[in-house]
Amino acid sequence: DAAEKGGYEHYMRKEIHEQPTALRQTLSGRIDLDRGDVDLDLSFPQGYLESLEEIQLVACGTSYYASQYAATLLEEFADVRATVEIASEYEFDGGRDPWRTLVIAVTQSGETADTLGAIRRAAGAGARTLAVTNTLGSTVTRETNDTLFIRAGPEIGVAATKTFASQVTTLALLAVAVGRGRGSLSTADARDVLENVRGLPGAVQQVLDDEARVTEVANECLGSDAFFFVGRRFGYPVALEGALKLKEISYDHAEGFAAGELKHGPLALVTEKTPVLAVLTAGADGSETVNNLAEAQTRGAPAIGVVSDGAETGSLDCALEVPRVGVFEPLVANVYFQLFAYHVANLKDRSIDKPRNLAKSVTVE
């Protein structure tokens, strides 16, 4: 066991640190910068992408948040309506044309019963289906028309970390493929996106190199009553994911909100013992979120913000920086949240790799 952890005390920390390698694997051989395109080896029928009306993503937990990130990327790059549904709530309905609807199951394990149930309902209605998974030979790969592997490598910790990064990155490549296929993404714009995607492994490494600061912040927050995570646009799913990670492994009360929603209710819970962690980078409309954060600071809440490299940090109690990679900066900011969750849980001596009541793959509906 100790050897498998490669010198780390927990699989989770090992897997957080494996992210630059995981992302390189995810991208390997898939990007063609000259053409401004990607090669994903998918077998869409001739004319299929042009005729698509809607892409539906179905998933649970962390994979659901990765899907939320991806839906916005798909709408932005591919000019196609993209919706996300929690797999256990999914029905194929609403008078959709199955031929013009692509349903994507996003599941690290490929064995999540809720997600398999959703993809079966979609296939039963005649929709084309695609699996985005980390697991070769998993059930989802046998039940869908196509599979796209995220290639993150094995993930043992119950808390998903590197697979989230690889899911969003794989789906970003898919968004480029769909955008190019539909003629809605120009060569120049695709190149810009792909340049940022190629910057991800290095950007994540820079955050990992800043781990000591995160340990300090985690230590300062140990006496907190609860933790709030906020963000806009791509920062919103990252806020939800940050909160899930913390509650999962530290057992602390943590909630994620769209930053604009703080003032519509959750602000009533804010005190000097509820740190607010905010995504303020590019891709997250940080300048607007700063105003929401200020309302929490007025009530005494410590404000921890993740900002773009070199950006104004205003009155933050702690500013953590991410390198400039455009709309992927919130994905990099998420690595700070993973480290934060890990260190809060570790300082509390929690069972990090196997949190109470949870399983790595949930095979019951």
Candidates 20, 330, 284, 40; CA nearest to 166 is 20
| Binding segment (CB under 6 A) for ligand AGP, from list 101-109, 227-235, 270-278, 319-327 | 101-109
Place of tokens 């993740």: 306
Does 147 bind ligand AGP (CB under 6 A)? Our answer is no
Tell which one of 27, 78, 150, 159 touches ligand AGP (CB under 6 A).
Answer: 159
Catalytic residues: 360
CB closer to ligand AGP out of 157 and 231: 157
Does 109 bind ligand AGP (CB under 6 A)? Our answer is yes
Does 115 bind ligand AGP (CB under 6 A)? Our answer is yes
- Contact by Cβ (8 Å): 329, 281: yes
φ and ψ at 148, to 5 degrees? -125, 115
Does 60 bind ligand AGP (CB under 6 A)? Our answer is yes
Q: How far apart are CA 88 and CA 338, in angstroms?
A: 26
| Binding segment (CB under 6 A) for ligand AGP, from list 103-111, 170-178, 252-260, 319-327 | 103-111
Does 74 bind ligand AGP (CB under 6 A)? Our answer is no
| Binding segment (CB under 6 A) for ligand AGP, from list 5-13, 35-43, 153-161, 223-231 | 153-161
Q: How far apart are CA 140 and CA 119, in angstroms?
A: 8
CB closer to ligand AGP out of 25 and 108: 108
Does 274 bind ligand AGP (CB under 6 A)? Our answer is no
Tell which one of 108, 144, 205, 297 touches ligand AGP (CB under 6 A).
Answer: 108
CB closer to ligand AGP out of 107 and 274: 107
Tell which one of 19, 62, 147, 224 touches ligand AGP (CB under 6 A).
Answer: 62
Tell which one of 19, 25, 67, 112 touches ligand AGP (CB under 6 A).
Answer: 112
Does 158 bind ligand AGP (CB under 6 A)? Our answer is yes
Does 132 bind ligand AGP (CB under 6 A)? Our answer is no
Q: Which parts of this chain interact with ligand AGP (CB under 6 A)?
A: 60-63, 107-109, 112, 115, 158-160, 248, 361-362
